[in-house]
Amino acid sequence: MCGIVGYIGKREAYPIILEGLKRLEYRGYDSAGIALYDGENLKLSKTKGKVADLENKITKEISLNGSVGIGHTRWATHGVPNDVNSHPHYSNSGDLVIIHNGIIENYASIKEELIKRGYSFSSDTDTEVLINLIEDVKKNEKVKLGKAVQIALNQVVGAYAIAVFDKNKPDEIVVAKLGSPLAIGVGDNEFFIASDATPFLEYTKKAIYLEDEEMAIVRLKKGIKIRKIKDDSLVAPYIQELQLNLEQIVKGGYDHFMLKEIHEQPEAIKDTYRGRLNVKEGLIRMAGIDDNLEHILNANRIIVIACGTSWHAGLVAEYIFEDLARIPVEVEYASEFRYRNPIITEKDVVIAISQSGETADTLAAIKLAKSKGAFVFGVCNVVGSSIARETHAGAYTHAGPEIGVASTKAFTTQITVLTLIALKLAKEKGTISKSDFQLHLQELQLIPDKVKKALLQDEHIKTVAKIYKDAKNCLYLGRGFNFPVALEGALKLKEISYIHAEGYPAAEMKHGPIALIDEQMPVFVIATKRGHYEKVVSNVQEIKSRKGKIIGIVTEGDKDVKNLADHVIEVPETLESLTPLLTTIPLQLLSYHIAVMLEKNVDQPRNLAKSVTVE
């Protein structure tokens, strides 16, 4: 994880880097630091804590002038989050400085060797080892910075996006990438370096995304030279025009990004199906599927790989694909899949789901599936991300930037994309009747308005949140399509309020969790009409007779659960397969309000990061 930012050009670097770090803080917020070069001196300030802590400290430590600089916001891997372990890191001579996102796995042996050669280390980080390795190579081999970085990187094992600056060569920054993302913003004789494009949106819409095992020397007046790290061959820079806008990455009047993103869901879902869903003509168009239809239809099975919330979207997809398209689906945690010698054949289709498109385990699982001959389809939100590029074909969710660490609109838009795919395949395979297909299209088109209606329950949900905010444990139950929603509801609460919560299939309750139920235990039960409703009502009875507190997520006008539950939160009626798109909404709002009431940092919950680029 970690976010990196750099600038070289004619402007003051500090404000660009500081604002850039704030935008990248979703990637980690254990510590922050900035190094600036003012034409004479290389200055550095860093601190444990958030970018705001750095902002308070930096003016007392260094002058802020200089038109070259690099900055870092950290999610700690090696070494506790303290001032010393914060980035940037100097080399022993003090001439070189580095920022790094990733892990150098063989840092211990390199460190040992460098210590023997007289190097000393003040931090516990792998990054300080790397910058001293670069310095050592530079001195011993008498090469320039770029070459030294290249030689050093050929000796390391691990993942990195790095930016290195040498005060003796102040017209350039050297960057390199393997496994972690790195974008270069190209301006008019000025360049921006960042983990994603958000830090430089207001300055340039031209971006180069480095590929794995590439490095670039970004030099004033001379521009950018990209090379392969392994064989030194030159790569022609591919400059992309960014579609992102600044408005998409600010809070826009909301207290938190998470709340903004929850409320963006009606539009985000619409953006997801726009141009793909054509109700009038009874059509679904998706280029990634259309171009590979035969391949996908002939698949023996679909294997979904993902992590976190995206994995929950995959579970919903399992129900939808099997129900509508009658294709066997297996849903795997990417981290388990990649290490358990899975049986994969050329007849398998793998669907990789990832909001960021950068999750290390998902990326590695994709590579493994590809090496076994499987066809890999990506469902990503971030355009141009590593997973989007690594997969054979794919469909973007078009949810817009998601900045709150707890995923919300990414989840509902992933389900929307996966529903479109399932419906399309069902139609092609003839496993859905014409009228049922048409009904699904019509209902899907109504979902944004129904989500809007579900959001209107906000004040009522706040009241419920107030009652249960001090609970120590919570149980979330759902059946069928809504079982994954129960998992997701529990995850949202855990992530941002730090309350222990478990999601369970409602009927499994009696095989264990029922032992936990007493008058202290809030149980959130998704009990929408259609799909096992009576069975869920029986489960609600069982909770009631053990004095558990019942909060039902029910269909508008529900009577049975209302009679039994302590509270109900209504969502509009829809087709059973589409209910997750609605039942998720109150659970997101509930977690949000509880976290706010408990005064937790909603957008940046402790220990978490949005983009998990380490295993």
Residues with a catalytic annotation lie at 2, 610
Where does this chain touch ligand G6P (CB under 6 A) — which range of 105-113, 303-311, 420-428, 535-543? 303-311
Nearest distance, CB of residue 309 and ligand G6P, angstroms: 3
Which residues, other chains included, contact 56 with Cβ-Cβ below 8 Å and sequence gap of 6+? none
Looking at beta carbons, which residue is closest to ligand G6P?
308
Least distance from C-beta 526 to ligand G6P, angstroms? 20
Please count the residues of this chain forming the interface with ligand G6P, following the rule CB under 6 A: 14
Q: Rounded to whole angstroms, how far apart are CA atoms 163 and 160?
A: 10
| Shortest distance in whole angstroms from residue 608 CB to ligand G6P | 5
| Residue 610 lies near ligand G6P (rule: CB under 6 A) | yes
Q: Does 305 bind ligand G6P (CB under 6 A)?
A: no
403 near ligand G6P, judged by CB under 6 A: no
Q: At 219, give phi and psi (nearest 5°).
A: -125, 135
Kindly state whether residue 354 participates in binding ligand G6P, applying the rule CB under 6 A. Answer: yes
Residue pair 6/162 in contact (Cβ under 8 Å)? The answer is: no
CA 141 to CA 133: how far, in whole Å? 12
When the beta carbons of 399 and 561 are compared against ligand G6P, the nearer one is: 399
Interface with ligand G6P, residue 359, by CB under 6 A: yes
- Residue number with CB closer to ligand G6P (37 or 337): 337
Taking CB under 6 A as the binding criterion, the range among 245-253, 302-310, 459-467, 531-539 that sits at the site for ligand G6P is 302-310
d(CA 540, CA 244): 46
Instruction: State which residue, 409 or 479, has the beta carbon closest to ligand G6P.
Output: 409
Residue closer to ligand G6P, measured from CB, 9 or 357? 357
Identify whether the C-beta of residue 26 lies closer than 8 Å to the C-beta of residue 405.
yes
Contact range with ligand G6P by CB under 6 A, out of 62-70, 105-113, 304-312, 537-545: 304-312
* β pairing state of 68-74 and 31-37: antiparallel
Residue 385 interacts with ligand G6P (CB under 6 A): yes or no: no
308 binds ligand G6P (CB under 6 A): yes
Bridge partners of residue 101, in order along the sequence: 161
Provide Rg for the chain, Cα atoms. 26
Kindly tell me which of 75 and 203 has the beta carbon lying closer to ligand G6P.
Answer: 75
How far CA 218 is from CA of 8, 84, 161, in Å, comes to 8, 28, 14
CA 90 to chain centre: 30
**What does residue 303 show for φ and ψ, rounded to 5 degrees?**
-110, 120
Give whichever of 315 and 527 is closer to ligand G6P, judged by the CB atom: 315
Taking CB under 6 A as the rule, does residue 309 contact ligand G6P? yes
- Pairing state of beta strands 206-209 and 240-241? antiparallel
**Structure tokens given for 305:** 């790989």
Quick one: tokens of 69?
A: 């600089």
Considering the rule CB under 6 A, would residue 528 count as an interface residue with ligand G6P?
Answer: no
Q: Sheet harboring 500-505: ordered strands across? A: 500-505, 473-478, 522-527, 549-555, 567-571
Under DSSP, the state recorded for 357 is: S
Asked if residue 133 lies in contact with residue 145, where contact means CB atoms within 8 angstroms, the answer is no
Place of tokens 């950068």: 358
Q: Which range touches ligand G6P (CB under 6 A), out of 56-64, 184-192, 286-294, 307-315?
A: 307-315
Cβ closest to ligand G6P, residue 354 vs residue 497: 354
Q: Site residues (CB under 6 A) for ligand G6P?
A: 307-310, 354-356, 359, 362, 405, 407, 608, 610, 612
